[in-house]
Chains A and B, each alone.
Chain A
Amino acid sequence: MTAIAEHDQDVAAGRADAAGQAEAAGQAVTMAAALNLALRDALTTDDSVLVFGEDVGTLGGVFRVTDGLAAAFGPTRVFDTPLAESGIVGTAIGMAMNGLRPVVEMQFDAFAYPAFEQITSHLAKIRNRTKGRVEMPIVIRIPYGGGIGGVEHHCDSSEAYYTHTPGLRVVTPGTAADAYGLLREAIESPDPVIFLEPKRRYWTKEILWREDRTPLDRAVVRRPGADVTLIAYGGALGTALEAADAAETEGRSVEVIDLRSLSPFDDETVTASVRRTGRAIVVHEASRFCGYGAEVAARVSEQCFHYLEAPVLRVAGFDIPYPPPSLEEYHLPSVDRILDAIERLQWQDTAAALRAAS
């Protein structure tokens, strides 16, 4: 690593650490800033980490997630590539074969599709193909999801394609703190990680502690409740939490789970919750048919069958191409839509009715 050390030592000296200073002062940082901090810390602690993609260098990323990194760590470690997604992932694979740890960016969800072959035929399979001799410790960061009034191709949710590919880890933070913790863990993982960043939450703020790491394969109960479990992730998490608050005023006690890891799935946390509440709803932006929620519903039904008071419902996008900005609000799961779904959970046939009556 001498080439890197020599080359970048002087550059690293002058790096700005605004987010780090804010964190030290106990102020809240945005998710974008938390991601930036995570990349910064990873680049600092591990010389083999590289960050590259389109516009991530000089510009600092179209969402400023890589802001200041090229200046801080130099163009050998943080750089812009030609505009070629398959090329970005394919060369990352070659670099990983030669001992480096690439953290690449796909500029928007739908623009990752050209890299799909490299991701599914190689990134996900090389460990298996070589019986563990070759590892792929690569992170592919992908801003995904809608809710920002973006035009076509900029608001997709493609998690189902990746979760369906064995060999990949797929994670998505719902909060700024998790954005930091999950990204650090993802970069350090020996497995390839598809890191889906809910861009509508890039500007949400939270106080974060850098010592807190988020495990790569655990869901978390964000909000405890007794009557029904909302299972959400990424951009929909915020909506689910809002819905839970609203439901409280209507007399329903709602538990909200933030999955965080879409693959592998944390069966333990989710089934423990549903066995307590007896009712579950999955919330996601992606369209419902063959969406990620279908897997969750199947798993929960299978593992909690005798505890379910009602079928597992899904509140998801319609089975349509992602709408234009003018109609986006009708497509995305809303608080009201979630509340309506809660009401469809067969409350009339339940001990709760007896309880309420007595």
Chain B
Amino acid sequence: MVTSQLTPEALLPAGAPVTLLAADGRPVPVDDLDLPDDEVLLALYRMMVHGRRFDVQATALTKQGRLAVYPSARGQEACQIGAVHALREQDWLFPTYRDSMAVAARGVDPVQVLTLLRGEWHSGYDPYRHRVAPQCTPLATNALHAVGLARAAVIKGEDTVALVMLGDGATSEGDTHEALNFAAVWHAPVVFLVQNNGYAISVPLAKQTAAPSLAAKGVGYGMPGIVVDGNDAAAVYAVVRRAVTAAAAGAGPVLIEALTYRMEAHTNADDASRYRSREEVDSWLARDPVTRLRDYLGGRGLLSAGARAELDAEAEAAAAQLRQRMQAEVRRDPADLFRHVYAEPPPALRRQQQELAAELAAFEEAGVRDDSDR
């Protein structure tokens, strides 16, 4: 039985990636997809400037030992900001460990965003406050969570769309397949956004899939797939916005592949020079998403030098404030280990907590060994 109402061709992505602003900043006309309003574009630009500054600062903090690890999204600002800005307040974001910029753009306090990465706790924010699921480390597993949440919204009669972020590597995981399948079978209001940045740590896309594109996989589920220029914030915004609107109206899930590039290494402790060339990295500088939008806005007279400087200063101030706030010591309460394992700690767990408390008290009492002269 054929389940999809669309022909396979209609489900497959069009020839070229959807682009609304070319690399040099000039607008590109696209059938049935309008360039977002100036207001939106300015907002996108502002958030991307902030996002990039945040990302750079986080990288610096890691080099200074203030964060345990920071998987950077530098170069992917258009995806991070374009997608988040396209969500409505009642929608949900399901981020990965690389999407800190997006989580912060959604409204989560940047220090809370970094709680996981500084090693303080596994997640630092209340998911229900800004409707952002905890940053997910195991790849693709949260795609199923997004589908379940969206389905539950339909059951409850609520207007909610779930957007889940996936990397190109994650599309190989079984959970991606199962999530796409469930979403399509259930006709769930889910937008799958694959940020194809070319690498899964060191493994290039060519080793990850033989498919003509990642978005093309949608046809296997009866789900439309779209490829978009991931460094074009306007296009990313427009495509995601359209998908969200359609899903909210009951059109079902969409698979969006955004082509972009991971400018930094996988994390600060990765040596990217081992698997990619300087030339390749440099070639993507020419397609910088922030520069592209800046040039377009500047060319349209919507962004004066003064306004730009003001924005940069704003971002700089935010970065300084983040630096300052991150000076504070990581909050450590060993009792936290036991508080939220179950709704109520069972007696045996309470005993373990007491054991640890006794150990710590003994430490207090006895003092620290001085092994410095060993």
1/0 per position for B120-151, CB-CB distance to A under 8 A?
A: 01110011100001100010010111111111
Asked if A167 contacts B342 (CB within 8 A), the reply is: yes
Task: Count chain B CB atoms within 10 A of each CB in A1, A89, A93, A125 and give the residue with the most.
Answer: A93
Closest to B351 in A: A267
Q: How large is the interface on A (under 10, 10 to 19, 20 to 34, 35 or more residues)?
A: 35 or more
Asked if B133 contacts A90 (CB within 8 A), the reply is: no
| A84-B178, A132-B339 known; A91-B148 Cβ under 8 A | yes
Cβ contact of B123, chosen from A86, A95, A100, A129, cutoff 8 A: A129
| A94-B144, A94-B148, A134-B127 known; A129-B122 Cβ under 8 A | yes
Q: Is the C-beta of B153 less than 8 angstroms from some C-beta in chain A?
A: yes
Asked if A127 contacts B340 (CB within 8 A), the reply is: yes
| A99-B156, A131-B340 known; A90-B148 Cβ under 8 A | yes
Cβ contact of B148, chosen from A98, A133, A268, cutoff 8 A: A98
Q: Is the C-beta of A297 less than 8 angstroms from some C-beta in chain B?
A: no
Q: Which stretch of B52-60, B179-187, B230-238, B285-293 is in the interface?
A: B179-187
A217–B149 CA distance with the chains assembled, in angstroms = 30
Asked if A3 contacts B182 (CB within 8 A), the reply is: no
Asked if B152 contacts A90 (CB within 8 A), the reply is: no
Q: Is the C-beta of B15 less than 8 angstroms from some C-beta in chain A?
A: no
Q: Is the C-beta of B343 less than 8 angstroms from some C-beta in chain A?
A: yes
Q: Is the C-beta of B349 less than 8 angstroms from some C-beta in chain A?
A: yes
A92-112 with Cβ < 8 A to chain B: 92-100
Cβ contact of A217, chosen from B138, B141, B346, cutoff 8 A: B346
Q: Is the C-beta of B306 less than 8 angstroms from some C-beta in chain A?
A: no
The interface residues of chain B lying within 8 Å CB-to-CB of A99 are: 152, 156
B329-344 with Cβ < 8 A to chain A: 336, 339-343
| A121-B138, A217-B346 known; A131-B339 Cβ under 8 A | yes
A117–B145 CA distance with the chains assembled, in angstroms = 13
Q: Is the C-beta of A87 less than 8 angstroms from some C-beta in chain B?
A: yes
The interface residues of chain B lying within 8 Å CB-to-CB of A4 are: 155
Closest to A98 in B: B152
| A3-B155, A97-B133, A129-B123 known; A82-B341 Cβ under 8 A | no
| A131-B121, A131-B339 known; A93-B148 Cβ under 8 A | yes
Closest to A261 in B: B346
The interface residues of chain A lying within 8 Å CB-to-CB of B133 are: 97
Asked if A86 contacts B178 (CB within 8 A), the reply is: yes
Closest to A125 in B: B122
Q: Is the C-beta of A169 less than 8 angstroms from some C-beta in chain B?
A: yes
Q: Is the C-beta of A76 less than 8 angstroms from some C-beta in chain B?
A: yes
A181–B181 CA distance with the chains assembled, in angstroms = 36
Q: Is the C-beta of B175 less than 8 angstroms from some C-beta in chain A?
A: yes
Q: Is the interface of B mostly helix, strand, loop or mixed?
A: helix
| A135-B343, A264-B346, A264-B347 known; A90-B121 Cβ under 8 A | no
| Closest-CB distance, B343 to chain A (whole angstroms) | 4
The interface residues of chain B lying within 8 Å CB-to-CB of A130 are: 123, 126-127, 134, 340
Cβ contact of B341, chosen from A87, A167, A189, cutoff 8 A: A167
Asked if A267 contacts B150 (CB within 8 A), the reply is: no
Q: Is the C-beta of A350 less than 8 angstroms from some C-beta in chain B?
A: no
Asked if B347 contacts A122 (CB within 8 A), the reply is: no
Asked if A127 contacts B182 (CB within 8 A), the reply is: no
Q: Is the C-beta of A273 less than 8 angstroms from some C-beta in chain B?
A: no
Q: Is the C-beta of A224 less than 8 angstroms from some C-beta in chain B?
A: no
A191–B128 CA distance with the chains assembled, in angstroms = 19
Asked if A95 contacts B148 (CB within 8 A), the reply is: yes
The interface residues of chain B lying within 8 Å CB-to-CB of A325 are: none
The interface residues of chain A lying within 8 Å CB-to-CB of B174 are: 86, 114
Asked if B155 contacts A127 (CB within 8 A), the reply is: no
Cβ contact of A87, chosen from B150, B152, B153, B178, cutoff 8 A: B178
| A76-B155, A167-B342 known; A94-B150 Cβ under 8 A | yes
Q: Is the C-beta of B348 less than 8 angstroms from some C-beta in chain A?
A: yes
Asked if B144 contacts A93 (CB within 8 A), the reply is: yes
Q: Is the C-beta of B212 less than 8 angstroms from some C-beta in chain A?
A: no
Q: Is the C-beta of A128 less than 8 angstroms from some C-beta in chain B?
A: yes
Asked if B149 contacts A169 (CB within 8 A), the reply is: no
The interface residues of chain B lying within 8 Å CB-to-CB of A117 are: 138, 141, 175
Q: Is the C-beta of B157 less than 8 angstroms from some C-beta in chain A?
A: yes
The interface residues of chain A lying within 8 Å CB-to-CB of B153 are: 98
The interface residues of chain A lying within 8 Å CB-to-CB of B126 are: 130, 133
Asked if A81 contacts B182 (CB within 8 A), the reply is: yes
Task: Count chain A CB atoms within 10 A of each CB in B149, B160, B342 and give the residue with the most.
Answer: B342
A302-326 with Cβ < 8 A to chain B: none
| Closest-CB distance, B123 to chain A (whole angstroms) | 5
The interface residues of chain B lying within 8 Å CB-to-CB of A287 are: none
The interface residues of chain A lying within 8 Å CB-to-CB of B339 are: 131-132
| Closest-CB distance, A261 to chain B (whole angstroms) | 9
Asked if A121 contacts B141 (CB within 8 A), the reply is: yes
B317-374 with Cβ < 8 A to chain A: 336, 339-343, 346-349
Closest to B146 in A: A94
Asked if A191 contacts B148 (CB within 8 A), the reply is: no
The interface residues of chain A lying within 8 Å CB-to-CB of B340 are: 127-128, 130-132
A133–B155 CA distance with the chains assembled, in angstroms = 22
Asked if A91 contacts B151 (CB within 8 A), the reply is: yes
Asked if A118 contacts B141 (CB within 8 A), the reply is: yes
Q: Is the C-beta of A26 less than 8 angstroms from some C-beta in chain B?
A: no
| Closest-CB distance, B247 to chain A (whole angstroms) | 15
The interface residues of chain B lying within 8 Å CB-to-CB of A87 are: 144, 147, 175, 178-179, 181-182
A98–B347 CA distance with the chains assembled, in angstroms = 30
A246-273 with Cβ < 8 A to chain B: 264-265, 267-268
Closest to B126 in A: A133
A31–B133 CA distance with the chains assembled, in angstroms = 39
A96–B133 CA distance with the chains assembled, in angstroms = 13
A64-92 with Cβ < 8 A to chain B: 76, 81-82, 84, 86-87, 89-92
A118–B178 CA distance with the chains assembled, in angstroms = 12
- Interface on B for A, CB 8 Å cutoff? 121-123, 126-128, 133-134, 138, 141, 143-153, 155-157, 160, 162, 174-175, 178-179, 181-182, 185, 336, 339-343, 346-349
> What 3 pairs across the A-B complex have the smallest Cβ distances?
A94-B148, A90-B144, A91-B148
Sampled A-B contacts (8; CB under 8 Å): A1-B156, A50-B155, A90-B141, A90-B148, A93-B148, A97-B148, A117-B175, A129-B122
- Known pairs A93-B144, A93-B148. 10 more at Cβ < 8 A? A87-B147, A87-B175, A90-B143, A90-B147, A94-B149, A94-B150, A96-B148, A122-B145, A127-B341, A128-B340
